[in-house]
Amino acid sequence: MIPQEDLTVNQLLDEMKSSQEMLSILQEALILRAELRQITEMQYDMLIELAKEGIEFLSHSHRGDIIGHEWISKRNELIERAQLLVQDAPL
């Protein structure tokens, strides 16, 4: 690389333009990474809440309980929410 003091004005401008382009690419990558992190944290929070609800729901079930329509509806709702979270999860 040519020492900074030996560069022409046009060469300096070209280097500045190149540096600015690289900074713009980095900025876009950082913004994307922050957005993805926010989405991931939101999905994680939803998954934790779902797990807590599932534990609460199942902790009230005991051997010999009669499984009624309400129980099945709640189970189906929990399963559906879990499936949606898993489908949205990155691989």
pLDDT digits (tens, 9 = 90+) for 24-62: 999 999 999 999 999 989 989 999 999 999 999 999 999
pTM higher than 0.85 for the full model? no
pLDDT at res. 7:
81
Tokens for 61?
């079930």
Q: Which residues of 2-27 are buried (b: 16+ CB within 10 A; e: fewer)?
A: eeeeeeeeeeeeeeeeeeeeeeeeee
Domain ranges of the chain: 4-88
pLDDT higher than 90, residue 85: no
